[in-house]
Structure 1
Amino acid sequence: MSAVVQVMDDDVVLLRAHGVRKSFGPVTVLDGVDLTLRAGRVDGLIGRNGAGKSTLVNVLTGRLPADEIELEVGGRRVDAHGPADALAAGIVAVPQELVMPMDMTVVEVVTFGAEPRRFGVLDLRRASREVRALFESMGLDIDPHARVSDLPVSWQRVVMVAQALHRRARVLILDEPTAAMNAEDCTRVLDVVRKVRNRGLAVLYISHRFDEVEDVCDRVTAMADGSVIDVLEAGEVTHARLVAAITGSDEPAQRGERRPGTVRADSPVLRMKAVTAPRVDEVDLVVRPGEIVGLAGLPGSGIGEVFQLISGRARLDEGSIHVGERAVTSPRRAGRLGIELLPASRADASLPGEPVLENLGLPALRRLSGALGFTTVPRLRRGVADVVRRLSLAPVVERRMWQLSGGNQQRVLVGAKLLAEPRFLLLEDPTVGVDVAARAELHQLLWSLADGGMGLVVGSSDVDELRELCDRIVAMRRGRIVAEWPAGGVTEQELLTAVTGSGVGKAAGTGTQKEG
């Protein structure tokens, strides 16, 4: 097991990339980037969406060829650099969107691709010993034989980190590792990052959460427009300096102001009445035209199930869901009634290998088809052109989805939903992995949709986002609605109290608490 628990010498340069350049046609996305990663250090990488962070990671991991690069790993020059070369050199990335077979066990995932074998087949006993020893060396208590699907999302990410260690990673790249996690899960992941650092690996930590960057990183590199614009050493990493590094100002990004009076007194655009289903218990929810309702809750609270029910993807046991006077009974019926769902996983909502234009147009085919099923092509073209203009997507329309930053991917996905001309929009964690500026732009877009009379429900793990974005916030726990407030009438502490179940009934303000 020495290969798994090996500790490397501190302060040794494990990766040096010099003069990295990459263009897509006339657009330069990396312009002479230099990056040095040392053993036993966590280097942060920050920047607005579109700064070039994702492209740099794709180059380092061999998924994307650079136009120019000088790359050394462990002091050795690397010339050929595809995914297999990167893995052989010890460069492993854990992406923001986890892609792994959820029906496999932990030991199967951790050893995948490097399984100990005996007589040509998996030596499960040896594999279990190796994985258990790996977890014990990091102070983790994870059952190697547990199903990945049964683990909380934070442990799933830890499993992927363990897979990297089992593959003898020397350089570990973590892309938004705590996206869509609550505070407890974030703490768990950050603890693992520190343990990985203490093993002597070089860690590249990409995040828009500046409090985490300040907490865990030894040095931070800031990027903008495909270039490195600042490097902050350990003693310089403060929240104010991080903001200044990517904005040019030490003032926090300004939040958008919501115009008052946009919620209409019309009949509800959506009504859930006494809805009961697996992991959902007698939920009542009303959304009016022009209203943005936020759903707050921990993993397992039932929010995901509510989204599935509203979009017709799950069946009710009891109760009803209506848009206007018509019941939601299936995904097809929900689509015809104007309900669109944007899931938290971008991979589930997009075609990563296809161009932006195809990702924009395909979801609209159903809504823009004539009676015989033929698309009204001029109408679709006009719609695509309008969305491209409205969301400022012109610079990226020829690129493939996987080549875009997280913020640009999210703008494309929102645009695709708008082409379907919805009356009602469901969004799960719409700004996960999105920088401050792009988040403000998305909020402005959602406010403009509400101003136009659309009803929206937003589920988010970000308490501050719900308080900023929504007209009303509904807290869920164990499948039930336990509290409700106007967005300006709830503090962060009150909201967290409601969703965790501590001190129920003690929340102040103008909201209502329910027994849960």
Structure 2
Amino acid sequence: MEDRRPLLELTGATVRFGADTAIDAVDFRLFPGEVHSLMGENGAGKSTLIKAITGALPLDEGVLTLDGERVHFSSPQDAQRAGISTVYQEIDLLPNVSVAENIALGREPRRLGVIDWRTMRADARAVLADLGLDIDPASLLGTHSLAVQQLVAIARAISTDVKVLVLDEPTSSLDVDEVAELFRVVRDLTRRGVAVLFVSHFIDQVYELCDRVTVLRDGRLVGEYLTKELLRIELVQAMLGRTAASLDAKTRAEVDPSTPREPYLSARGVAVGTGIRDADVDMIEGEVLGVAGLLGSGRTELARAITGADRVSAGIIRIAGREQPGMHPRRAMTLGVVYSSENRRTEGIIADLSVLDNITLALQAEEGVFRRIRPERRRELAMSWVEALDIRPPDLDRPAGTLSGGNQQKLLLARLLALSPRVLVLDEPTRGIDVGAKVEVQNLVGELADNGLSVMFISAELEEVLRVGNRVTILRDGRIVDTLPSSMLTVDTLLALVARPEEIDG
């Protein structure tokens, strides 16, 4: 493989943001027919490198070649026309139009000057079939799950004459079967000669799918390796610049059942449509309640129901012993119940606002329009959370959207913690962040519980749920199957509980 010419190559790539150097003299290459992983901690420069390749950011220094010819992309559209397609972690599609329209967006087939809807839907159906998706191309994208929307984004990317496919955390919203289907499609593309750049924080997936790994750290190239020749512990150490032993997360101890405590928040018989039905939940101060279930099991619906984000169709929610009929987010926030959505982009970080504004946003909303927090007090409060959570870089005026995924997650936590909550509901708080930042968030959650908060921790990673939670609530098909101490469970027994019997047999 080394004797072949790379399909895409970056030489001496440097990108600066003012005085900050995001990537510094990085060399990177992609060979035709290979899957190449780009690895590194949040803030290592992965996203910047991807944006430089795909025309979203200009190079300050360095050369980009495609098919042996020097190229310069002034926009992502230029890169797409040259055969470079990208699917980002945060889905960038239009939920209010059809699946077919999203796939064909900007290149709609036309006949006699108007859109040829029949051809558009036929083309969409064909590319969806390549992904193993049997959905109506005429259906609205927003009516489908995040997982299906992610696959539609990939269908859009491969619907052109693609030479290079960039997948930025494509599996973060997919279940096991959908990941396997995606990998099948990726392998099929590589057999056709497509070069695939695969960015993921799931190391197991990298070793299953990728031929080669490039590691970045602090914006610089650490090295390029053949996956089969690199031990996993060596990969982690290359990414972090320190030993893997420094990454041990603290396992939560079981709460002593001999000293029962009244829950600060309890739900009985709660239902939201068909997403969650007849759910009973007790959230106890000083405890982390892990929530485990497969995609579509009702994890997010449960979180949104008990925090007032979605109106319940049945059941009772009590906070501090008092029933709360018709609960809504503002009421929940007033009572000390706050919620962090799994979708950081649309329901979390406001990318164009500063770190300062993002941290103090909810606090100012609680104070009201006519009780403005003094500017010096806002900066003092925001900086205290930046320091407490080690948000990097510690620049209050920096746009939040320029932070790494891990630091954006810390920023969301800072916003919620500034409200002095009693109950913290976290939906996938470590999705799409690197192994080091993940352990930091896990340990922070444990420290918050130790300081008296009641935390709900939802994750698709069963091992993480067991490590972080004192108890684990198990969901299947919109119903709570059981709630057990984490000490009574292993990953295998938990998997058996969250899966349907036929899935275990298969």
TM-score, normalisation: structure 1: 0.89
**1:99 partner letter:** D
- Relative to structure 2, which stretch is displaced further, 436-445 or 269-278? 269-278
Distance in 2 (alpha carbons) for counterparts of 1:376 and 1:274 = 44
CA apart distance, 1:246: 1.6
Answering whether residue 186 of structure 2 is matched by residue 193 of structure 1, we say yes
Residue equivalent to 2:339:
341
From 257, 261, 271, the counterpart of 2:266: 271
- Relative to structure 2, which stretch is displaced further, 434-443 or 104-113? 104-113
CA separation of 1:162/1:298 partners in 2, compared to 1, >3 Å: closer, same or farther? same
Aligned runs of 1:183-332 on 2, under 5 Å? 183-248=176-241, 251=244, 254-258=247-251, 260=253, 265-279=260-274, 280-328=276-324, 329-332=327-330
SS at match of 2:137: coil
**1:442 partner letter:** V
CA apart distance, 1:382: 2.5
Residue equivalent to 1:386:
384
Runs of 4 or more consecutive aligned structure 1 residues displaced over 6 Å after TM superposition: 261-264
Preserved CA contact (<8 Å) 2:214 2:223 = yes
Preserved CA contact (<8 Å) 1:154 1:186 = no
CA apart distance, 1:251: 4.6
Preserved CA contact (<8 Å) 2:386 2:394 = no
Root-mean-square deviation (CA, aligned residues, Å) is 2.5
CA separation of 1:335/1:410 partners in 2, compared to 1, >3 Å: closer, same or farther? same
Preserved CA contact (<8 Å) 1:107 1:131 = yes
Q: What 5-or-longer segments of structure 2 have no aligned partner? A: none
SS at match of 1:13: coil
Distance in 1 (alpha carbons) for counterparts of 2:253 and 2:467 = 13
Residue equivalent to 1:4:
none
- Relative to structure 2, which stretch is displaced further, 360-369 or 150-159? 150-159
TM-score, normalisation: structure 2: 0.91
CA apart distance, 1:127: 1.9
SS at match of 2:474: strand
- Relative to structure 2, which stretch is displaced further, 333-342 or 96-105? 96-105
Distance in 2 (alpha carbons) for counterparts of 1:166 and 1:255 = 43
CA separation of 1:400/1:74 partners in 2, compared to 1, >3 Å: closer, same or farther? farther
CA separation of 1:139/1:260 partners in 2, compared to 1, >3 Å: closer, same or farther? closer
CA apart distance, 1:458: 1.2
Distance in 1 (alpha carbons) for counterparts of 2:191 and 2:138 = 27
Residue equivalent to 1:467:
466
CA apart distance, 1:376: 4.8
Preserved CA contact (<8 Å) 1:425 1:455 = yes
Distance in 2 (alpha carbons) for counterparts of 1:284 and 1:293 = 13
CA apart distance, 1:32: 0.6
- Relative to structure 2, which stretch is displaced further, 195-204 or 251-260? 251-260
Preserved CA contact (<8 Å) 1:158 1:192 = no
CA apart distance, 1:121: 1.5
**2:475 partner letter:** M
Q: How many residues align?
A: 495
Describe the superposition over 1:105-163 as per-residue Cα deviations: whole angstroms up to 9, x where unpaired. 32221111111111222112222332333345566655433443454544332221221
SS at match of 2:247: coil
Residue equivalent to 1:360:
359
SS at match of 2:180: helix
CA separation of 1:321/1:119 partners in 2, compared to 1, >3 Å: closer, same or farther? same
CA apart distance, 1:84: 2.7
Distance in 1 (alpha carbons) for counterparts of 2:93 and 2:187 = 24
Distance in 1 (alpha carbons) for counterparts of 2:131 and 2:429 = 33
Answering whether residue 68 of structure 2 is matched by residue 75 of structure 1, we say yes
CA apart distance, 1:237: 4.2
**2:342 partner letter:** A
CA separation of 1:446/1:250 partners in 2, compared to 1, >3 Å: closer, same or farther? closer
CA separation of 1:357/1:262 partners in 2, compared to 1, >3 Å: closer, same or farther? farther
CA apart distance, 1:396: 5.0
